[in-house]
């Protein structure tokens, strides 16, 4: 029995696995910490053993404990040990632990480099996978540098499982080791077209993340992503791509135009809310990036707003939230469209969910206008009353203030109303935002001169109302408003009705319970008030009353002198002495008012918040130098306080050199205007009526205060804000009536004339004139203030390092460091053998690797150069057919996953041609796009020559600039196949390189009738040389179904693959398209015969060629030669080349003056070289080709093209 | 970008935590407590997105278990919301009726789970 117990405990000691641990923790609910520390002790024992299985078990338990919040960094070395275990199950535990607890500061990480490298190259995909997963969590700059190359190799692993992980981890590697981005990028790009959807999605994710930070580097990928977007059905991928486009469009508005249509289609068709949301977001981003003058897009905005409305109306709270969130983005640029849904937003204020209410509040902020401000704020005030929980109420309060004060009180037409609102807000219990209200009161009272009288009357009432003071305790933030009230009453005491009463209110004993800084303001403003009273009484000759006021002060001030707050005490005792002195003078019947009020003479002007910062330091002024050598006596002390009371205006004036002449002044005025225009805090002179006074020139345009008498100054009773709403309505009504009367008169006059307007009356924002001619005193800015240059870039942003030009060709120094074995002589210790050399430049890649790299680099170069130029072209075309044909056997979808390098240019071609088809093919559907047609140029030669230029430097004269001046005529490679009353067929043929002897015919079918066309089937009569690729299992006589149906007026594109035996001759195939036309009267079987013409040109594939390779090819002498000459050509040489490039699939190798060499390749590998020369009015073309028949046929076809020029 | 992935039960115990950016161990506990507190304080009538500090929390509740994902502001909330559900569906299929306890064990004990997850990539999205 005892033995059994001992054995049991030993068992537990060594065999407690994770499950036991978890169970144990659950069983020790009371003393969990103790139990765990006991377990950790056990684990420490286990880790001391040599048995790797025991260690792994220990580490496994530690991982669990780490997750519960226990520090396990002490076991880091053991984790490394377990990571290096040969057995996968242990290794996995090690990597998991590492991924949970290693970070950049973990010092044992540097021990892992070789282990990880070994695992990455392990034959077992799971070893590799677990290493990648782990590494992603703890990759350091060192690890990233040392392993970047290994991971990059894994991106081409045979297993998608590994490829996917490798692609994803590259993102982390880029972040830690930005130098790796450029070398790895071509391969990453390749992965966008990986056959495995997982890998593809991973690559999209990585590029999306990269591009969001530095979008401009990824613009050239836009065509590729566009293709993915229109072809992918994976919503996860779509969301990322669409997000990516959202980041790209601000840089390239043309991209936005191109995106609008597919995005709106997606919005219409998708049922996935997340995708819909993303589309709406990106459409918004697009519309923001487009200039505002795009009338066509109001439809898109409407669509977005409509969809968002549906989201907001949904019962699902999540959708509601997102809808409001997206709506606020639209609001920024298209406030009008959102304002229409004010009802909905206000409704959301009643929502049970606070986050939804907050979102709705955000929206309201942007929705207010002069017209609806009062109404909205009234609603909000109601919510303030209803609101439960101070947090939300505080939020409401700040929002009300934000809404009202936004853009310099732009929407407030009646400031009395606003002051009343502020006063009402002071009655909120327990708000933290008293200082906000106070700041608003001060701001409005100072800046809106017209309102001062009213503000003062309200403030004195506030000071008078004891309920506020009574309930104000230290923790109650609302007492802050008393600070503002006291200051306003003091500063503008001339407006006070009953100054005596206010003075008394301010000297009540209860005031001493207020916080110190408020008491200080009280004391200071009591004197201001006192000065005003003295002045008033002395003028009235009522010296008795004046002395009474003095007496009151002498009696009450001592309570402040006793204050514990130093500031209050100091001010009070100072003032008390002053008042006592005044009392003495008064006793002698001397007039004192003049002198006392002189203490507070001058008016305070608001100064722009950044004014001080913007005062430029005049030349030659050294602020650190002594103006006068410091004297030992205290003379300078008198100087200092004086400076404080200097009028703000004088400060910059002092710095101005006195001899500034007229010209200089004018220049400065100009500069200042500029500055003001850029300064968001400056109230700009706008055409809105209330600010027109600013237009009046001169210094003495001191704003004239006109208070509309229709608004009484005092509204009896509280709350008052509601009454203002009513009054305001009446006033506006009055205004409207007046306007109508005027308009009527005008109309009458017009009626007598010939024209007549019948405009409906609508009250717009501009119609509402403010109740008062309120002038917001402009904030002062120093003259010749400097423009603000805020550098908001964070130098610590890790993504800044990734701002790398990806299109630049790779330099030799940019290779990824590759691990290299040292020579046997130098490596003394075998352990060090694998340690990578730190300096990357000293490394030489292995031969094989190097070759591979060069290939890679060459390719990257080509693509980079090609893509960059392509983008311009791609963007200038209209979007391709929205719905790509679903893949069917025999019918090849346009999107293929290219495996071979070669295919790239062809892919571009295809994508480009898809774009090309539009303007001619779909006149009915895309009529509005017609204006874009002039842009439908094909600057291919430009592309090619630029490509070359980037390859060889700018050695030869390339016509880059010339192109812009000389637009190319619109070109389309699609030509008419057949047409009847039902349908119009146009087609284009493209060779495909990946399978020789195959060409793809892209056929655009356009329904020209009002019937619905369905069950379309295409069949051709195969010849010996050319046959249609049919679905497996069908006979040569069967047709190939067209994978779509055509509603009236719609066109779509289908692709058919043909196999060609010999390509040296042009081919013709007879065929039929049969279909069922269905309309109201019934359906009929119809057919349309056509003759498909395969010119030799269609077997050519645009292939770029280096000039040296071209020269070699010509030297080889394997080519037969032939030539043609065409006369009467007026077209410019450049356009001519463009035509040949476009219609005959050539690329320019080199061009000098009016002579160019061109190259192309057939799908069966024939080289075709051309030399095109332009004479006065003729063009001669010399050709060389492996096959003379092919060449002569090609030249004949070319002759036909050139003859039209 | 996802910042962290948490599974926490109603008692506030962390069942699974995965951070994609290094966070100090003591800060993790603090963060988890705050996160679960803010999730627990919400009712069914409230939406599943919480603005928390400089990032967003997206959560879903399955019986007593909360799955919370922290993302930065560039992420599509709805997609993450769906992602959580897909994740749970995969768990459910793998463990055949997943429970809280499965979760607390699985990440150490099921070597084939990642592969399983890889094979059954969630492609469906609402």
pLDDT score for A639: 43
- Identify the weakest region by mean pLDDT among A19-23, A244-248, A284-288, A854-858: A854-858
Note whether B96 contacts A: Cβ–Cβ < 8 A: no
The chain B residue lying nearest A232, using CA atoms, is B123
Whether the pLDDT of residue A905 is over 60: the answer is no
User: Nearest by CB to B78, which of A69, A273, A353?
Assistant: A273
Whether the pLDDT of residue A992 is over 60: the answer is yes
pLDDT tens across A670-693, in order?
666 666 555 544 444 444 333 333
Cross-strand partners of B69 = B5, B58
Cβ within 8 Å, pair B47-A271: no
pLDDT tens across A152-202, in order?
999 988 988 899 889 999 998 998 898 888 888 888 888 888 888 888 888
Whether the pLDDT of residue A964 is over 70: the answer is no
Average pLDDT over residues A379-389: 81
Element (H, E) at B26: helix B25-40
Residue A402 sits at φ, ψ, to 5 deg, of -60, -45
pLDDT score for A991: 77
Q: Which residues of A touch B45 (CB under 8 A)?
A: 317, 352-353
Q: Which residues of B touch A321 (CB under 8 A)?
A: 47, 49, 77
Average pLDDT over residues A960-976: 57
Whether the pLDDT of residue A826 is over 60: the answer is no
DSSP-derived 3-state class of residue B123: coil
pLDDT above 90 coverage of chain A, percent: 3
- Burial degree of A296 (CB within 10 A; 0-12, 13-18, 19+): exposed
CATH number for the domain spanning B25: value is 3.30.450.60
The token duo for A873 is 């072209």
Average pLDDT over residues A360-382: 84
Note whether B41 contacts A: Cβ–Cβ < 8 A: no
Whether the pLDDT of residue A1116 is over 80: the answer is no
**Between A938 and A102, residue with greater pLDDT:** A102
Note whether A799 contacts B: Cβ–Cβ < 8 A: no
Q: Which residues of A touch B114 (CB under 8 A)?
A: 129, 133
Average pLDDT over residues B104-123: 44
**Between A46 and A407, residue with greater pLDDT:** A46
The conformation of residue B125, written as its DSSP 8-state character, comes to -
Q: Which residues of B touch A318 (CB under 8 A)?
A: 47-49, 77-78, 81
**Between A186 and A1110, residue with greater pLDDT:** A186
pLDDT score for A572: 92
pLDDT score for A995: 66
The chain A residue lying nearest B3, using CA atoms, is A137
Cβ within 8 Å, pair B26-A69: yes
Widest CA span in chain B: 39
The conformation of residue A1163, written as its DSSP 8-state character, comes to T
pLDDT score for A1166: 84
> Which 356-375 residues of chain A touch chain B by CB within 8 A?
356
Separation CA A431–CA A384 (nearest Å): 11
**Between A1058 and A736, residue with greater pLDDT:** A1058
Q: How many helices (H) and strands (E) does chain A have?
A: 46, 15
Q: Which residues of B touch A63 (CB under 8 A)?
A: 108
pLDDT score for A941: 43
- Identify whether B117 is part of a domain: no
pLDDT score for A69: 80
Average pLDDT over residues A779-789: 55
What count of residues does chain A have? 1205
Cβ within 8 Å, pair A104-B45: no
pLDDT-derived band at A785, boundaries 50, 70, 90? low
A15: Cα separation from own chain's centroid: 55
pLDDT tens across A624-646, in order?
777 777 766 544 444 444 444 44
Q: Which residue's structure tokens are 């009402």?
A: A424
pLDDT score for A847: 45
pLDDT-derived band at A577, boundaries 50, 70, 90? very high
Q: Highest mean pLDDT range out of A777-786, A843-852, A935-944? A: A777-786
User: Nearest by CB to A318, which of B43, B78, B107?
Assistant: B78
pLDDT score for A818: 66
Cβ within 8 Å, pair B118-A64: no
pLDDT-derived band at A798, boundaries 50, 70, 90? low
Average pLDDT over residues A614-628: 77
- Identify whether B85 is part of a domain: yes
Separation CA B125–CA B114 (nearest Å): 20
pLDDT tens across A701-720, in order?
434 333 333 333 333 444 45
Q: Highest mean pLDDT range out of A20-24, A612-616, A656-660, A1032-1036? A: A20-24
The token duo for A432 is 């933290």
pLDDT score for A664: 63
pLDDT score for A13: 53
pLDDT score for A573: 92
- Domain extent, residue B27, equals 2-106
- Identify whether B38 is part of a domain: yes
- CA distances A149 to A140, A162, A189, Å, are 15, 15, 16
Whether the pLDDT of residue A551 is over 70: the answer is yes
- Domain count within chain B: 1
Cβ within 8 Å, pair A317-B16: no
Residue A972 sits at φ, ψ, to 5 deg, of -145, 140
> Which 157-216 residues of chain A touch chain B by CB within 8 A?
161, 164, 197-198, 209, 212
pLDDT score for B103: 60
The chain B residue lying nearest A160, using CA atoms, is B118
pLDDT tens across A560-571, in order?
898 888 999 999
**Between A260 and A775, residue with greater pLDDT:** A260
Evaluate the CA torsion angle A544, A548, A551, A557 in order and state its sign.
negative
- Identify whether B60 is part of a domain: yes
Note whether A1124 contacts B: Cβ–Cβ < 8 A: no
User: Nearest by CB to B46, which of A67, A239, A317?
Assistant: A317
User: Nearest by CB to A322, which of B78, B108, B121?
Assistant: B78
Picking from A868, A1016, A845, the residue whose alpha carbon sits closest to that of residue A939 is A868
The chain A residue lying nearest B42, using CA atoms, is A353
Is-cis flag, bond preceding A692, omega within 30? Answer: no
Whether the pLDDT of residue A58 is over 80: the answer is yes
Note whether A610 contacts B: Cβ–Cβ < 8 A: no
- Identify the weakest region by mean pLDDT among A45-59, A187-201, A941-955: A941-955
- Identify whether B23 is part of a domain: yes
Average pLDDT over residues A938-947: 44
pLDDT-derived band at A435, boundaries 50, 70, 90? confident
Contacts of A1173 (CB under 8 A, 6+ apart): A1154, A1155, A1179, A1180, A1181, A1182
Q: Which residues of B touch A235 (CB under 8 A)?
A: 79, 123, 125
pLDDT tens across A1133-1180, in order?
888 888 888 888 888 877 777 777 888 888 888 888 888 877 777 888
- CA distances A1109 to A250, A772, A1127, A1159, Å, are 41, 82, 31, 11
Whether the pLDDT of residue A947 is over 70: the answer is no
Separation CA A527–CA A882 (nearest Å): 77
**Between A384 and A6, residue with greater pLDDT:** A384
Picking from A197, A199, A247, the residue whose alpha carbon sits closest to that of residue A221 is A247
pLDDT-derived band at A880, boundaries 50, 70, 90? very low
pLDDT above 70 coverage of chain A, percent: 69
- Identify whether B120 is part of a domain: no
Interface test with B, best of A65, A67, A68, A798 (most B CBs within 10 A): A67
Element (H, E) at A929: none
Given a contact cutoff of 8 angstroms between Cβ atoms, the answer to whether B11 and B75 are in contact is no
Query: What order do you get walking across the sheet with B49-52 strand by strand?
Result: B14-19, B2-9, B65-71, B55-62, B49-52
Cβ within 8 Å, pair B126-A273: yes
Whether the pLDDT of residue A926 is over 60: the answer is no
- Identify whether B6 is part of a domain: yes
Note whether B105 contacts A: Cβ–Cβ < 8 A: yes
pLDDT mean across residues, chain A: 74
What count of residues does chain B have? 126
**Between A925 and A1115, residue with greater pLDDT:** A1115
DSSP-derived 3-state class of residue B37: helix
Separation CA A1066–CA A1060 (nearest Å): 10
- Identify whether B58 is part of a domain: yes
Whether the pLDDT of residue A343 is over 80: the answer is yes
């Amino acid at each position: 029995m005892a033995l059994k117990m001992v054995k049991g405990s030993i068992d537990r000691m060594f065999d407690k696995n994770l499950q036991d641990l978890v169970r144990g923790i659950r069983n020790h609910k009371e003393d969990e910490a103790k139990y765990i520390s006991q377990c950790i002790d056990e684990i420490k024992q286990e880790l001391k053993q040599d048995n790797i299985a025991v260690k792994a078990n220990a580490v496994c338990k530690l991982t669990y404990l780490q997750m519960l919040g226990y520090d396990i960094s002490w076991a880091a070395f053991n984790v490394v040990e377990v990571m290096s275990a040969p057995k996968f199950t242990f290794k996995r535990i090690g990597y998991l632990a590492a991924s949970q607890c290693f970070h950049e500061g973990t010092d044992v990480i540097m021990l892992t480099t070789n282990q990880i490298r070994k695992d990455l190259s392990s034959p077992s995909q799971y070893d590799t996978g677990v290493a990648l997963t782990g590494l992603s969590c703890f990759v350091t700059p060192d690890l990233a540098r040392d392993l970047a190359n290994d991971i990059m190799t894994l991106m081409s692993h045979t297993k998608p499982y590994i490829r996917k992980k490798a692609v994803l981890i590259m993102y982390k590697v880029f972040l830690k080791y930005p130098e790796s981005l450029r070398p790895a990028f071509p391969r990453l790009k390749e992965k966008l077209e990986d056959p495995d959807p997982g890998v593809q999605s991973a690559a999209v994710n990585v590029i999306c993340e990269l591009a969001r930070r530095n979008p401009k580097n990824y613009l050239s990928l836009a065509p590729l992503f566009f293709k993915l977007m229109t072809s992918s059905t994976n919503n996860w991928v779509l969301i990322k791509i669409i997000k990516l486009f959202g980041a790209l469009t601000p840089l390239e508005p043309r991209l936005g135009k191109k995106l609008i249509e597919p995005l709106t289609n997606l919005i219409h068709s998708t049922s996935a809310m997340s995708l819909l949301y993303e589309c709406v977001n990106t459409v918004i981003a697009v519309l923001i990036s487009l200039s505002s003058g795009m009338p066509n897009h109001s439809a898109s905005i409407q669509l977005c707003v409509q969809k968002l409305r549906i989201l907001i109306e949904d019962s699902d709270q999540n959708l509601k939230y997102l809808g409001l969130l997206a709506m606020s983005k639209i609001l920024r640029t298209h406030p009008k469209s959102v304002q229409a849904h004010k009802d909905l937003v206000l409704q959301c204020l009643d929502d049970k969910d606070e986050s939804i209410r907050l979102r709705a509040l955000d929206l309201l902020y942007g929705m207010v206008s002069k017209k609806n401000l009062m109404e909205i704020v009234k609603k909000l005030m109601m919510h303030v009353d209803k609101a439960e929980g101070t947090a939300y109420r505080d939020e409401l309060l700040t929002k009300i203030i934000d809404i009202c004060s936004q853009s310099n009180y732009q929407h407030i037409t009646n400031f009395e109303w606003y002051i009343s609102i502020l006063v009402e807000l002071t009655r909120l219990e327990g708000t933290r935002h008293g200082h906000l209200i106070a700041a608003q009161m001060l701001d409005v009272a100072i800046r809106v001169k017209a309102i001062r009288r009213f503000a003062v009357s309200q403030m004195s009432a506030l000071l008078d109302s004891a309920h506020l003071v009574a309930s104000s305790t230290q923790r109650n933030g609302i007492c802050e408003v008393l600070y503002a009230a006291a200051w306003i009453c003091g500063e503008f005491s001339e407006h006070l009705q009953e100054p005596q009463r206010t003075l008394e209110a301010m000297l009540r004993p209860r005031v001493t319970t207020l916080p110190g800084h408020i008491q200080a303001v009280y004391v200071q403003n009591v004197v201001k008030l006192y000065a005003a009273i003295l002045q008033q009484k002395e003028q009235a000759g009522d010296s008795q009353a004046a002395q009474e006021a003095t007496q009151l002060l002498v009696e009450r001030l001592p309570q402040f002198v006793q204050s514990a707050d130093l500031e209050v005490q100091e001010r009070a005792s100072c003032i008390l002495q002053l008042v006592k002195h005044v009392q003495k003078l008064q006793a002698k019947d001397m007039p004192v008012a003049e002198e006392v009020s002189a203490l507070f003479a001058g008016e305070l002007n608001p100064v722009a918040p950044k004014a001080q910062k913007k005062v430029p330091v005049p030349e030659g002024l050294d602020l650190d130098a002594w103006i006068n050598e410091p004297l030992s006596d205290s003379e300078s002390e008198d100087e200092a306080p004086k400076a404080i009371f200097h009028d703000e205006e004088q400060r910059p004036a002092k710095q101005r050199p006195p001899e500034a002449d007229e010209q200089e002044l004018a220049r400065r005025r100009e500069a200042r205007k500029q500055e003001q225009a850029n300064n968001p805090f400056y109230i700009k002179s706008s055409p809105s009526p209330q600010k027109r006074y600013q237009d009046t020139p001169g210094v003495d345009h001191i704003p004239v205060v006109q208070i509309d008498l229709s608004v009484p100054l005092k509204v009896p009773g509280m709350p008052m804000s509601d009454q203002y709403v009513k009054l305001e309505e009446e006033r506006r009504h009055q205004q409207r009536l007046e306007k109508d009367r005027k308009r009527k008169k005008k109309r009458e006059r017009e009626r007598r004339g010939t024209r007549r307007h019948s405009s409906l009356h609508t009250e717009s924002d501009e119609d509402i004139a403010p109740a008062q001619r309120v002038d917001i005193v402009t904030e002062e800015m120093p003259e010749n203030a400097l423009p603000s240059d805020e550098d908001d870039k964070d130098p610590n942003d890790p993504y800044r390092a990734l701002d790398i030009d990806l299109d630049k060709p790779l330099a030799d120094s940019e290779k990824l460091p590759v691990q290299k074995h040292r020579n046997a002589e130098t490596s003394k210790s075998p352990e060090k053998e694998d340690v990578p050399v730190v300096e990357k430049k000293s490394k030489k890649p292995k031969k094989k690797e190097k070759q591979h790299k060069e290939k890679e680099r060459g390719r990257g170069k080509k693509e980079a150069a090609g893509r960059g130029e392509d983008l311009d072209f791609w963007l200038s075309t209209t979007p391709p057919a929205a719905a790509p044909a679903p893949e069917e056997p025999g019918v090849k979808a346009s999107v293929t996953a290219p495996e071979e390098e070669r295919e790239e240019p062809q892919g571009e071609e295809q994508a480009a041609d898809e774009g090309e088809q539009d303007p001619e093919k779909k006149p009915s559907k895309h009529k509005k796009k017609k204006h874009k047609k002039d842009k439908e140029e094909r600057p291919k030669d430009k592309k090619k020559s630029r490509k070359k230029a980037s390859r060889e430097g700018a050695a030869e004269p390339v016509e880059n600039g010339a192109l812009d001046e000389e637009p190319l005529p619109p070109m389309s490679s699609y030509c008419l196949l057949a047409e009847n009353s039902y349908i119009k067929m146009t087609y284009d043929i493209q060779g495909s390189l990946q399978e020789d002897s195959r060409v793809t015919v892209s056929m655009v079918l356009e329904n020209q009738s009002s019937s619905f066309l369905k069950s379309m089937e295409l069949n051709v009569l195969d010849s010996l040389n050319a046959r249609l690729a049919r679905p497996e299992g069908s006979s040569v006589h069967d047709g190939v179904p067209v994978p779509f149906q055509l509603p009236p007026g719609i066109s779509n594109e289908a692709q058919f693959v043909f196999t060609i035996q010999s390509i040296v001759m042009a081919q013709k195939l007879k065929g039929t398209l049969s279909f069922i036309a269905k309309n109201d009267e019934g359906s009929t079987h119809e057919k349309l015969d056509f003759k498909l013409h395969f010119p030799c040109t269609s077997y050519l594939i645009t292939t770029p060629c280096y000039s040296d390779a071209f020269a070699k090819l010509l030297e080889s002498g394997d080519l037969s030669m032939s030539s043609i000459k065409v006369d009467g050509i007026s077209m410019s040489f450049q356009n001519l080349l463009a035509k040949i490039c476009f219609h005959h699939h050539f690329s320019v190798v080199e061009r000098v003056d009016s002579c160019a060499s061109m190259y192309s390749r057939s799908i069966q590998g024939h080289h075709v070289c051309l030399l095109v020369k332009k004479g006065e009015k003729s063009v001669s073309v010399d050709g060389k080709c492996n096959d003379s028949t092919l060449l002569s046929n090609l030249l004949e076809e070319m002759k036909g093209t050139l003859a039209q020029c | 970008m996802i910042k962290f992935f948490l599974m926490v039960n109603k008692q506030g115990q962390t069942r699974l935590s995965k951070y994609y950016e290094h966070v100090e161990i003591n800060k993790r506990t603090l963060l988890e407590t705050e996160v679960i507190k803010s999730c627990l304080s919400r009712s069914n009538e409230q939406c599943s997105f919480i603005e928390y500090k400089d990032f967003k929390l997206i959560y879903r509740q399955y019986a007593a278990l909360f799955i919370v994902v922290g993302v930065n502001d560039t992420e599509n909330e709805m997609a993450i919301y769906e992602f959580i559900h897909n994740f749970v569906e995969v768990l459910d299929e793998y463990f055949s009726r997943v429970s809280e306890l499965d979760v607390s064990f699985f990440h150490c004990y099921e070597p084939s789970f990642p592969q399983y997850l890889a094979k059954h990539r969630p492609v469906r999205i609402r």
